[in-house]
Each structure stands twice: as structure tokens, then as C-alpha cells.
A and B are shown apart, each in its own frame.
Chain A
Amino acid sequence: MKRLLLAFFLLFGTLQASSEPAHDEVVTAGKEYVSKDMGTMVVDFLKSTGLYAFMTAEDTTKMDHGHEIEVSEFSQGWGRVIMILIAFLLFYLAIVKNFEPLLLLPIGFGGLLANIPIADISGPNGFLGILFEAGVANGLFPILIFMGVGAMTDFGPLLSNPKVALLGGAAQFGIFGTLVGAVALTQYTDMFSFSLQQASAIGIIGGADGPTSIFVATNLAPELLGAIAVASYSYMALVPIIQPPIMKGLTTEEERKIQMKSLRAVSKLEKIVFPLTVITLTLLVLPDATPLVGALMFGNFLKESGVVARLSDTLQNALINIITIFLGLSVGSKLAAEKFLVAETLGILVLGLIAFSIGTASGVIMAKIMNKFSKDKVNPLIGSAGVSAVPMAARVSNKVGMEAKPGNMLLMHAMGPNVAGVIGSAVAAGVLLSIFK
């Protein structure tokens, strides 16, 4: 009994000893509460409101990816207000004009949250900052999106008429044309100064492929990510407005009426082998493109194999939806005033539009060149679908074709260059990434 009691005391003693320093730490870690009178309390609280923060903005520095950057008074105060209004504009475009609402809503809301003063939601400890570090800074989310895109894409139209892949290749001229344009602006004018990396990231907008743009931008020019992502998705949404005038301007009435041979049926085996063929080619020619192409083909392989309907279903719906939310919000978190309200953003928006137009035009021109050499005529309208905005660009080809000749269904024909465009822009991205390694 005595021994037991002794043991008990000993135990208690050690416990108390070990708990004492811990207790001390708690006190020093949290701020000591000091009693204040009601007046000071109210004043202190008012100082922590957003309104006060907007009005008393001053120059500060903040940590950004490990190094300090200067943040001006403007971007702390009025800049934030303007950015919040831009977020509202994105909501308007998404809800009323129906421009890519799936992405513009999360991006816009991310931008709204990121510009709230004091809360620092997009900082390293805010949830947007954490999401960004988890999936965008390391390029993970775009890759996951690509899996879903692969699982949703039917490569059948490309398999039944492979030569239309050339149209998807030609449309990538938009990427490189814009790259040259961006460096030319730097070289010959004083308006902008884009490095080659930044110019490459801007050019990728011409590929009309949101995830690819984000993937390249995070690798080559993370500081421009917000503007590039917004430009990229806005122009994808504007496909039905940007493309038709270019398509009509470059083709004659007769060309638009060309009726294409109906597509042959593609066997199931061909569809199953296709992803494996493409991934083999990619690993032989350009391993740098394999993250994007590999994810795309993985998704497609699950779909076409026909034995993992559950996984394919998850990729097409649940996973891509979750990642779209995360990606949109974290890209939106880069819409901070000090990064977005700069002259470069305007340059990026203009260059992106040029990139898109060049891509559209070169697809159409390539189709006309192909018609010179081949007896199976291609309707040049499907050339514009070589920019990879799937399936919007193909739908536009179909619509313009129907206007010229009612009943001339081009949709399935246009899907060929459309999906080839996805592969083409992934290859172009791989080339750019390999150059800067």
C-alpha cells in the first residue's frame, strides 16, 4: 500500500513537472489578454475592418514564393477595389453571357477572396494559398484536368480520317507567331519587357487550351499566371465570336459548301490501341510532353478499355469537377492587384487575342493548302477547329458550315482537327518546356 502510494506520488510529480513548461509556452505563444475599456475596444475593432484597411493603405512588402516583394499603396487600397469589381465583371460574363461559367465563376470568386484586405486568404496560410501551393505551383491540377479531358474525348473522328491532324498542327502557329510578336514588342518598343520565358507562356494562349496554358505558365512565368489564365479562358469562351469573321474572310462561298466524305466506322480495338500508340510516339519524340499527353491518354485509355467504367466515370465527372473548383479558385487567387493591374496584363490580353486569331487563320489556310494536293476535299471551315478549344471550336465550324449550306453537318469532321489540336498544343508546350530546361 505504501509502495503504491509512493508510485502514485512519483507519477503525479513527473506529470506536473512535464506539464509546467508546456503551460508556459501556451502563455507566451498566444498574446496576453489585457483589459481594455470599451472605447479602445471599439476603436481597435474598427481598425480591423475592411473599410479602414482600404482607406489607410500604405506601401508594404509581402512574402511571395520565398522572396519579398514591394506592394504599393495603390494595390493595397484602390487596386483591391478595382480587382473586386473585375471579379464582379467575370461573374456577369459567366452568368449573363454564359462565358465558360465552369471556370470563370471559380476564378472570379478566387479573385474576389484574394483581394479582401487583412484576411490574406491567398497568403501562405490562407486556404487559397494552400490550394495554390498544393496543386498549381507544382503543375498537378492541370495534369489531373487533362486526365478528365482524355476520358471525355472520343478520338474516333481523328482515327477515321487521320490526315486532318495536320490542321490541328497548323493552328499551333498561333502559339509561335505570338511568341515572336511578344519578343518583338520587347525588342522594338519600350512598352513592355517580356523575357523569352514570358513570351512563350503568353504564346501558349494561342493553343486555346486552358490547362496547357496554366501548366506552361507555372513552369516558365509564374508571375504572369493570373493574367494568362484569365486571357486563355476568356478567349476560349469567345471562340464563337472571334472565329467566324476570320473563317468567312479566308474562304469563298464554294469552299464553305464543300461536302466531306462520310467518316468510316472505327473499330473498338483501334480506339483502345490509339492511346498506347500516341504515348509511344511521344516518349520517342518528345519526353517533355509526356506529362500532358500521358495524362490525356491515360484518361482516354480508361474510357476506351471499357472494363473500368467506374474509374472513367470518376475522371469525367467527380474528379474533373473537384479539380476545376480547386484550379479555378487558386488561379483566381493570383488576381492580386499588384500583379494584375500592370501594363503587362493589357499586353497579354491583346497578344492572346492575336495568338488566337493567327491559330484560327492558319488552320483554315492549311485546309486550303491540303485541298490543292489531295483529291478528297476538306472543307476549310474545319481548319479553324485546329485550335483545341474542345468542342466549342468544332461547333463553330459546324454552325458556319450550316449557314453556307443547310444540312452540311461538319461537326464530326471538325472533331478530328479539334482533338488533334489538343495533342498539337501539348507537343508545342513540351517543346517550349524542353528549350528552357
Chain B
Amino acid sequence: MEEINLVSEGFKFMILGMGTVFLFLILMIFVLNLQAKIIQKFFPQTNIPHKKDDSSSKKDLDEEKRVVAAITGAIMAVKKG
């Protein structure tokens, strides 16, 4: 059996290994970008309208608070007067 040059074997491993790692990750980046586009186009986030509901109801609540504050203020003013 002839002597194997370990270092050159090592470099072969490196080229194959790093090549595969990068190939895999580049493929993954490509697929993930594609997947993001598809999902955003065909399945837009369903919780967005829900969030809107939340924020609008929050606004209503704020509005209500302000009305209550105004009324209390008015009552106080009348009582003082």
C-alpha cells in the first residue's frame, strides 16, 4: 500500500466539506427567500386584521377615557362654581 499524503487528504476534505456547507447554506438562503416571497404573497399574515382590531379598540378605549375625563372635569367645574 502506498503512503498517503495526509495533508493533501486533509485539504481534499476541506474543499469537499466547505463546498458542501456553502452549497447547502446558499441553497437554503435561496429557498428561504423564495419561501418568504410565496408566503407573503399567498398567505399574508392573518393576524394583521386582528391587530388592527386590537389597536382600534384601544383607540376607542382612549377616546372613552378622554370623554370621561372631560365630563369629570366639567362636573368639578360646575360644583366649584
Contacts and interface: CB of A to CB of B under 8 A. Distances in A.
Interface of A: 158-159, 162-163, 165-166, 168-169, 172-173, 175-177, 179-180, 182-184, 186-188, 196, 199-200, 265, 267-270, 273-274, 277-278, 281-282, 285-286, 420, 423-424, 427-428, 430-432, 435
A285 B29 contact: no
Contacts of B7: 180, 183-184, 187-188
Contact of A200 (B13, B23, B27, B47): B13
Interface string B3-20: 001110111011011101
A268 B39 CA distance: 10
Which of A168, A179, A286 has the most chain B CB atoms inside 10 A of its CB? A179
Interface in B8-49: 9-11, 13-14, 16-18, 20-29, 31-33, 35-36, 39-40, 43, 45, 47
A2 B47 CA distance: 88
A166 B43 contact: no
A431 B20 CA distance: 7
A357 B39 CA distance: 39
B35 A165 contact: no
Contacts of B10: 176, 179-180, 182-184, 196, 199
B28 A278 contact: yes
Contact of B32 (A162, A176, A186, A268): A162
A285 B39 contact: no
B31 A281 contact: yes
8 contacts: A162-B33, A168-B25, A176-B17, A269-B39, A427-B25, A428-B20, A430-B20, A431-B16
Given A159-B32, A267-B45, A180 B39 contact: no
Contacts of B18: 169, 172-173, 176
A414 to B, nearest CB: 16
